[in-house]
């Protein structure tokens, strides 16, 4: 039996990014949306030095991205939006 995901893990990661770009375009997303998303994805790929999708692990990525958040600001935004709804 052939594992289809094994073949996908061996494809260069930028091919997956190109497929995702085509998916967004075919879905009718605006050009700016597609450009921003692909730029974000390519930045993450470069930061992590990924070559193939089989190299991707989420733990370091999530901890870095979550660490970039200003949680105090997030909390203030949540409190402000809740107080606006109650008025």
Q: Rounded mean pLDDT of 49-61? A: 78
Number of domains comprising the chain? 1
Q: Which domain holds residue 15?
A: 4-86
**Is residue 80 over pLDDT 90?**
no
DSSP-assigned states of every residue in 12-26? BHHHHHHHHHHHHHH
How far apart CA 34 and CA 17 sit, in angstroms, is: 11
Burial of 13 (0-12, 13-18, 19+ CB in 10 A): buried
Q: What is the pLDDT of residues 1-21, one digit of tens each?
A: 566 678 888 889 999 999 999
């Amino acid at each position: 039996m052939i594992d289809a995901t094994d073949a996908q893990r061996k494809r260069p990661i930028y091919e997956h990014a190109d497929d995702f770009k085509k998916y967004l375009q075919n879905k009718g997303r605006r050009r700016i949306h597609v450009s921003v998303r692909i730029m974000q994805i390519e930045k993450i790929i470069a930061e992590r030095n990924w070559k193939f999708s089989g190299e991707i692990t989420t733990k370091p990525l999530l901890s870095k991205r979550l660490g970039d958040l200003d949680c105090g600001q997030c909390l203030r935004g949540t409190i402000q939006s809740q107080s606006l709804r109650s008025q």
